[in-house]
Structure formats: C-alpha cells, structure tokens
Amino acid sequence: MIEHQHTVNKTDVWLTSPHILHALGDFDLDPCACSEPRPWPTADVHYTKEMNGFILPWHGRIWLNPPYGSPKIIGTWMRRMAEHGNGIALIMARTETEMFHETVWDAATAVLFLKGRLYFHRQDGTRAAANAGAPSCLIAYGRVNADILAMSNLPGCVVDLK
C-alpha cells in the first residue's frame, strides 16, 4: 500500500508525527504542507497543494513528506529534493524501485530505515487507526542532515551513503 491508507480513509492528507519532526530539528520550508488549519508546523514556511509547492522556489533546509499517490509522483518530488540537496525526505522504503535507486542510492547522503511502521496523523492532528502499511525511511541530503539523522535517536538503522 503506497497511499498512507488512502483507500481506507478517503484522503491523501497524512501528517508526519510531531515526535519525528521534533527529533529532526527546524526546517526552513515544507513544499508539501497541508492547508490551514494544521495542528503543528513542519517548517518556517509552508507551501500547500493549492500553492503548488513543486513549482515555487525552494530555499534552505527542506522537510519533504511527498504526496504518496503514485510512484511517479513521489519520484518527481524526490528528484527535485535530490537536485536541491539540503533537507530530509520521508518515503516508503521501496529500496528496489528505479526511483529509490535514482534519488536515494545514487543521490542522497544517508538513509534512516525506521523500525516498525509509522502511524501518520489526520489534518486535525488525530493519529490514524492503522499504520502506514509498509516500512518507511528518512532520506538525508547533505552532510548536516545526515548527521542529524544519526543523532536523532529515532529507532532504526542509519546507512551512510557517502
């Protein structure tokens, strides 16, 4: 299942747990932020779906939890992230896919394979009843972000790629 419980809950708005964001520090921009009201900030600046954060300018340290509608969509966002080169992305750990090879194995600095399956949150802040349905990982672009993953104390295994 690649859509954060999309078929079960009829939504594509799934927020990252605040404990993960807290462990990763402050971000300058979230180009895939949910619309207001949002229960917690993910970055200093939020681009929403209505703003089309993909085409707007990216700056600073990026938090990216891309739309999980299809592998093609995720790949488009991840290529932009790899090109930007500064931030952390959260995606499913689909390590065999062409997108993962292109934007993670060949382009990222480090990966944190998270232990267990994540629970995402609805736009009102409540936790989803079911987990994400697959393992997730955090992808670091840039040495500073790789070091933050290594020091985050999030459960899992960090693999340094550089």
**pLDDT tens-digit series, residues 87-124:** 999 998 899 999 999 999 999 999 999 998 888 878 88
The three-state (H, E, C) secondary structure of 98-122, written as one string? HHHHHHHHCCCCEEEEECCCCCCEC
Q: What is the pLDDT of residue 85?
A: 98
Decide: pTM greater than 0.85.
yes
